[in-house]
């Protein structure tokens, strides 16, 4: 059975559930039950390519059996045949409505795999609909909400991804058998959200008191819960109360910064982030690299807004040191250099960002176009600027003597 989340694309052995007998197919003249059993047995062994032809034959012999189409779709998913898998799984779910035969576990997996098949084809709108409809019928199954979070992230829907992840973690905490979900902080589908305070707050929503909690931890967690839910003003108040109880809490300062940033109060947010970084001593003790990078970026943007180019450059350089493969720190460093009138340095930073732009995720948005960026307006018609951006040597001014040919 394949793991039910987008970032985990490895197909592992299917469990062989008890297969109900298929009726004699009069138009085919043979019983398809052995074909189904052989196909599922091959799936258990990881031989999906050999299982698929048998399951196709079984589907021809039993065209109204949901279970056959379920396993056929599973075999196609295992071979990355996503369009065919989506068709087979839709058929399985449709047939199951008329004549239930999948059972709860197979129905859940069929919904999961259908959403995955659509997401892998970048049909994110349809994939979201699959998971939303599944959640309407089975709201306590954590994987549906988790998969929805991954789909929203891939589609560039930041708030949708965080809201779905929050529901997934809360549902997972209610499972009697214990946690079932992967760690969102290492999921490649969610990596663009790692430094986001609302995302980080969401990771805490289902975590209770810990042995090393400080005097402000309960208030800090309540503030995180509110921030995760989008109640930013209330989150600000709770985090300020947490800081009053425990002034050295890096998380409380960080979540305060997030609540202020969500309210478009960037200068205050930058001050809170600075306090978070100062409290996280030594660096990395509590706040991870993506969190610290977010804090430096916010401080840099606040410095840019104040016209403090040199200070902004320092913050963006600190952010790029934490993640030298992320383009936005380099792009904003270019803006900081432009504020200082450093054309060459600005162009080099922007070119570096362009080289790395494929590392941006959909939820982070595309890299800005320097030709449309007011930060570089002063040079928009300067041939030297265009030449530097393209990596070429600027053309010499008119009338410059040519070098003698040796």
For 69-109, the pLDDT digits (tens) are 999 999 999 999 999 999 999 999 999 999 999 999 999 99
Closest CA to 71 of 56, 83, 81: 56
Q: What is the pLDDT of residues 267-286, one digit of tens each?
A: 999 999 999 999 999 999 99
Give alpha helix (H) positions in 62-188.
66-78, 82-98, 103-120, 124-137, 142-155, 158-173
Query: Which CATH homologous superfamily contains domain 253-390?
Result: Tetratricopeptide repeat domain (1.25.40.10)
**Residue 400, pLDDT above cutoff 90:** no
Rounded Cα–Cα distance for residues 384 and 344 (Å)? 9
pLDDT at 3 over 60: no
pTM of the full predicted structure? 0.87
For residues 23 and 260, give the distance between their C-alpha atoms in angstroms, rounded to a whole number: 64
Kindly provide the b/e burial profile for residues 220-240, where b requires at least 16 CB atoms within 10 angstroms of the residue's own CB.
bbbbbbbbbbebbebbbbbbb
Alpha helices in 182-326 (DSSP H): 197-203, 217-228, 232-245, 250-262, 266-279, 289-305, 309-322
User: Which residue has better confidence, 223 or 390?
Assistant: 223
Are the folds of 1-121 and 253-390 the same?
A: yes
Q: What is the pLDDT of residues 296-353, one digit of tens each?
A: 999 999 999 999 999 999 999 999 999 999 999 999 999 999 999 999 999 999 999 9
State the pLDDT confidence band at 10, using cuts at 50, 70 and 90. Answer: very low
Mean pLDDT, residues 374-399 taken together: 79
pLDDT above 80 for 14:
no
360 closest CA partner among 152, 156, 219, 212:
156
Among 187, 203, 202, CA closest to 151: 187
The pLDDT of residue 15 is above 60:
no
The pLDDT assigned to 354 comes to 96
What CATH architecture applies to the domain 1-121? Alpha Horseshoe (1.25)
Whole-angstrom distance, CA of residue 278 vs CA of residue 255: 14
pLDDT score recorded for residue 205: 87
Mean pLDDT of 177-199: 94
The structural domains of the chain, with segments of one domain joined by +, span 1-121, 139-180+187-192, 253-390
Q: Report the interhelical angle of 266-279 vs 289-305 (nearest 10°).
A: 140
Sign of the CA dihedral with 288 first, then 293, 299, and 305 last: negative
Pick from 19-23, 84-88, 202-206: least confident: 19-23
Checking if the pLDDT of 211 tops 50, the result is yes
Local confidence band at 392 (pLDDT 50, 70, 90 cut-offs): low
For residues 74 and 14, the model is more confident at 74
Query: Omega into 282 within 30° of 0, i.e. cis?
Result: yes
182 pLDDT exceeds 60? yes
pLDDT of 176: 87
Q: What is the pLDDT of residue 21?
A: 47
pLDDT digits (tens, 9 = 90+) for 129-160: 999 999 999 999 999 999 999 999 999 999 99
């Amino acid at each position: 059975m394949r793991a039910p989340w987008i970032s985990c694309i490895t197909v592992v052995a299917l469990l062989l559930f008890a297969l109900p007998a298929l009726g004699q197919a009069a138009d085919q003249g043979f019983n398809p039950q052995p074909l189904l059993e052989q196909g599922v047995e091959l799936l258990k062994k990881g031989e999906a390519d050999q299982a698929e032809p048998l399951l196709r034959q079984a589907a021809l012999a039993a065209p109204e059996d949901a279970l056959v189409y379920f396993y056929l779709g599973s075999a196609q998913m295992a071979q990355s045949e996503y369009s065919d898998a989506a068709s087979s799984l839709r058929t399985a779910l449709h047939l199951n409505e008329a004549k239930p035969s999948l059972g709860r576990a197979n129905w859940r997996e069929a919904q999961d795999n259908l959403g995955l098949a659509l997401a892998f084809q970048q049909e994110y709108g349809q994939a979201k609909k699959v998971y939303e409809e599944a959640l309407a019928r089975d709201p306590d199954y954590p994987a549906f909400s988790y998969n929805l979070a991954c789909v929203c992230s891939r589609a560039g829907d930041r708030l949708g991804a965080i809201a779905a992840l929050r529901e997934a973690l809360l549902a997972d905490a209610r499972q009697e058998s214990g946690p079932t979900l992967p760690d969102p902080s290492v999921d490649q589908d969610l990596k663009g959200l790692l430094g986001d305070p609302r995302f980080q707050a969401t990771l805490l929503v289902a975590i209770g008191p810990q042995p090393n909690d400080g005097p402000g931890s309960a208030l800090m967690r309540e503030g995180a819960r509110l921030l995760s839910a989008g109640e930013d003003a209330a989150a600000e108040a709770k985090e300020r109360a947490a800081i009053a109880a425990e002034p050295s809490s890096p998380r409380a300062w960080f979540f305060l910064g997030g609540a202020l940033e969500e309210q478009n109060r960037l200068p205050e947010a930058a001050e809170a982030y600075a306090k978070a970084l100062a409290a996280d001593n030594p660096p990395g003790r509590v706040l991870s690299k993506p969190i610290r990078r977010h804090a430096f970026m916010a401080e840099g943007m606040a410095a840019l807004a104040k016209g403090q180019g040199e200070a902004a450059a320092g913050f963006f350089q600190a952010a790029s040191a934490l993640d030298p493969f992320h383009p936005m720190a380099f792009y904003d460093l270019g803006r900081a250099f432009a504020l200082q009138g450093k054309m060459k340095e600005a162009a080099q930073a922007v070119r570096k960002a362009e080289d790395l732009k494929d590392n941006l995720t959909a939820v982070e948005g595309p890299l800005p176009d320097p030709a449309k960026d007011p930060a570089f307006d002063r040079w928009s018609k300067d041939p030297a600027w265009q030449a530097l951006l393209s990596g070429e040597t600027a053309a010499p001014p008119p009338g410059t003597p040519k070098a003698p040919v040796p």
